[in-house]
Structure 1
């Protein structure tokens, strides 16, 4: 019986998180209320508060799940395939990318959100550094640049590609930009026609 209850609670929390993402995207985080989320889920506001104590806690949870999802691409991988997989995921979730930009912008106004975003950024950067170090050891990417520097460049390119998708630049052009940027960052001689990345893109 406890297992069933636990599974039900997990499912309920997922429904709330999905609803919150829709509301935050549709109305903006500042204009959204817990009542809006409750209506979207179809429960009372009191029921919602039994799962999340505040809108900030709900945002923190959605942000954490997004960070976890990002990190899962890069742990325990023996190839560069996650770089293409994460691009494909970006194509499927442009609404989520837009929401992430909105929430990042709120860091200037809200110290709690700033801490959440700072923690998320650090975790993503640490994950990418770990990934790059592994790929350098395997000889898949250049090792003449520190892994931390490459990780920061990858986050910069990821952010730029997300922005291009949000503002509606042609997806074929965006994909070419993604591949060329990765080649420039990851390959010591990116003009070489026999690129390591060609195996994955």
Structure 2
């Protein structure tokens, strides 16, 4: 029997993850069955279960992947001296997430923000997923803290506010934007970038 290449195995795993993410975003986590996933990806149960034991394992893999991508963008920014301004950096991160829409036609709206909102609610009942989200959040926050410290060292941001507080706030901004993007039709990344640029341009009275 011919040996299956690692490239083939990776491509099959990718196919399953992309199809499952689309199903979960379209119909919700609980309304989607493994049969729905099998139909979406066009594979047998045996082929899918070779990689994932069920829905929980699928969603955990998808979430871990997105969090890794987001953390990677922040960590790359932290290596720059100074880092890009906040509105550019957050726009870059969100643009990166919104580009994660495999299987959709050009111009189609990304389903990842919708998927992430569903995952957030699922963490309230799924301890394993909650732990994964917390771990990912810690990693993203640590990367953001390094970015903020870069701003402070470059004199771009006041140093009298703890970097962790700024990091948490910027993450909250990105999360809020993702929720708006998932729920409403008239939301674009450049709106957030312009809004952040306006906020950071404020001159507060002494």
State the TM-score bracket (shorter-chain normalisation). 0.7 to 0.9
Q: How many residues align?
A: 186
Partner of 2:76: 76
Measure the CA separation in 1 of the matches of 2:164 and 2:198. Answer: 17
Alignment root-mean-square deviation, CA: 2.5
Q: Please list every run of 5 or more consecutive structure 1 residues that lacks an aligned counterpart in the other structure.
A: 193-201
| Shift, 1:90, TM fit | 5.2
CA contact 1:13–1:51 (8 Å) conserved in 2: yes
| 1:13 counterpart residue number | 13
Indicate if the aligned counterparts of 1:157 and 1:181 stay in contact, CA closer than 8 A.
no
What is residue 184 of structure 2 aligned with on the other side? Answer: 168
Instruction: Give the 3 Å change call, closer, same or farther, for CA 113–15 of structure 1 in structure 2.
Output: same
Partner of 1:158: 174
Q: In structure 2, what is the Cα distance between the partners aligned to 1:10 and 1:85?
A: 27
Please state which structure has a larger fraction of its residues in helix: 1
Partner-residue secondary structure (3-state), 2:5: helix
CA apart distance, 1:62:
0.4
How far apart are residue 76 of structure 1 and its match?
A: 3.0
> Residue 70 of structure 1 contacts residue 124 of structure 1 at CA under 8 Å; is this kept in 2?
yes
Could you say if the C-alpha distance between residues 176 and 48 of structure 1 is closer, same or farther in structure 2, counting changes exceeding 3 Å? closer
Written as runs of structure 1 = structure 2, the 5 A alignment for 1:54-133 is: 54-77=54-77, 78=80, 79-80=83-84, 81-89=88-96, 92=99, 94-133=110-149
Deviation, 1:13, is: 0.8
Distance in 1, Cα, partners of 2:76 & 2:69: 14
- Bigger relative contact order, structure 1 or 2 (CA pairs below 8 A, ≥6 apart): 2
SS at match of 1:15: helix
Question: Does structure 2 retain, via aligned residues, the 8 Å contact 1:132–1:147?
Answer: yes
Instruction: State TM-score, norm by structure 2.
Output: 0.78
- Aligned partner of residue 171 in structure 1, secondary structure: coil
User: Whole-Å Cα distance in 2 between the matches of residues 141 and 4 of structure 1?
Assistant: 53
